[in-house]
Every structure is written in C-alpha cells, then in structure tokens.
Amino acid sequence: MLEQKYDVLKQSLQALGDVVIAFSGGVDSTLLLKVALDTLGRDRVLAVTADSETYPREELRAAQRLAAELDARHEVIATSELAIAGYAENTPNRCYFCKKNLFVNILPLMERQGYHHLAFGLIADDMGEHRPGVKAAQEYRVRAPLQEADLYKAEIRELALHLGLSNWDKPSYACLSSRVVYGEEITLVKLRRIEESERYIRSLGIRQVRVRVHGEMARVEVEPDAMPLLLIQHDAVSRRLRELGFKWVAMDLGGYQSGSMNRILVTAVGDGAAK
C-alpha cells in the first residue's frame, strides 16, 4: 500500500513538470522536496522558505541546512504576518491569512523564474483538523501532492527514513502564533517570549513542547514520557518563564496535543463545529 502511494506521489510530481515547494524544513515538506528533486531534477524544483516573525531562527537554520543536504535550489523570502490586516486579531481563521500571504509572496518569484506550479506540505492527517489555510491553497490553486497521494504522517516518516532524510523523526511543528489562544492579540513580544520559552525547555532534553499562552499564563504541553523530566526541572522552568514575562506557569496533564487550541472552537459553537 505504501509503495503504491509513493508511486502516486511521484507520478503527480512528474505530471507537473516543474514545481516550487513552500519549504518549512519539517519532515512533510522535506519529503515533498526530496521526491520532487528525484522525480523532476534539480533545475525544475525550487524550495522557498518564508522568514517571518512566527518562524523561529532555529527552524530557519534547519531549513537552510536541509536544503543544502538535498542540494536543492533554495530561496528565503521575507514576509510579515503581523502586517497582515486581520492576522494579529487572532480569529479562528487566522491561518487563512497566513497561507494567503505566503502564496501571494511566492507567486511573483515563480513568475520571474519561470515556474508554473506551487505545492505545499499538506498531508492526509490534516484533512480531519481545523485548517483554514486549505481554503487559501484552493483559491490560489496550490497543490498538495502528499495529501493527494493519501499519505499520513506515520507513512511519511517511514518514507523519509527509507530515503535517508536526516529529519525523518523530527517532532511536528507549527508556527508560534498557534500557541496563543484565539481572540487574544498576537504581538511580537509574545512570539519572542514563546520562542525563547520553548527553546529553553528543549535545552533540558525535551524534544516536543508547546508553550500555550492564555493571557499572563503559560500552559506547557510535553509528551507524557517527558513529564517526569519537566517535573524534576519545574523550579528552573517556572523561574525562566517568569523571567520571560509570564506570571503563572502550568503543566497540562493531558500532555502534548497537536492543535489543542482548536478545542475552544467546539466549546464556543457547539458539537456541530470543528471536531
């Protein structure tokens, strides 16, 4: 089954002829870039990374390193989500503005360099989640080859390992804005506070972490097997996050959950809303 999906992915990319990959450096977009390079060749593939306030410096450096490992043509463009009308207000469709801004900034680059297709790392798992960015992709005819091949995260990691990608087991990541509860304004100060808080917690040996912001409280999510380490270091973590500006620091006993902020959408509009 996985081999068949892999074949579908390669055929889909081959049919495009050329492609620009919106490249974040995560395992999904890295696999997409790798298969595009293998299928189309280096001269017909371009990786583009958006450098913005919501994208940590560590992630940018990792994306640059991965692109170099793959010998991919790679360009970094400067963008600003906070400059987008409606973004900082942090409504539930915030990601629509973000993805639209990304695509709008990449399209002129595509035209100048003679590319005809744009693709991003949407996967099959994402279709069951609250993903306003998908609407923007549809509006700008951005392809999602991994999702079109019905590839799920576990399968993507398996393929990435098989193809020798160094980040095959990299923890899932999302932009820093996703840490701020809907309805609370997103500011540069909050984004830097989140970035430094998560960097510090990772420095303790915890791979997957989210520091969710609820006003002046930080709600820390880590995977269940990392909770004992977080508890051992609770004094240091609390002290550091308070130094960064939080008044209260709490550990979520439910553990890390992708998209946990979306639970508020169900509460707000009833059981017929996002699941």
- Catalytic positions: 175
Between the alpha carbon of residue 198 and those of residues 5, 110, 173, the distances in Å are 35, 34, 12
Q: Do the bridges between strand 118-119 and strand 19-22 make them parallel or antiparallel, or are there none, so unpaired? A: parallel
> For residue 23, which of 107, 133, 102 has the smallest C-alpha distance?
102
Between CA 194 and CA 181 the distance in angstroms is 13
CB 80 within 8 A of CB 97: no
Beginning with the edge strand found earlier in the chain, give each strand of the sheet holding 118-119 in spatial order. Answer: 73-78, 45-51, 19-22, 118-119
Tell me how far apart the alpha carbons of residues 144 and 116 are, in angstroms, rounded to a whole number: 15
Two tokens, residue 49: 């990374």
| Residue linked to tokens 């579908």 | 8
CA 99/CA 97 separation, integer angstroms: 6
- The backbone torsions φ and ψ at residue 141, rounded to the nearest 5 degrees and listed phi first, read 55, 40
Length of the chain: 275
- The pairing of strands 217-222 and 209-214 is antiparallel
Q: Report residue 71 as tokens.
A: 């010998």
Rounded Cα distance between 231 and 144, Å, is 40
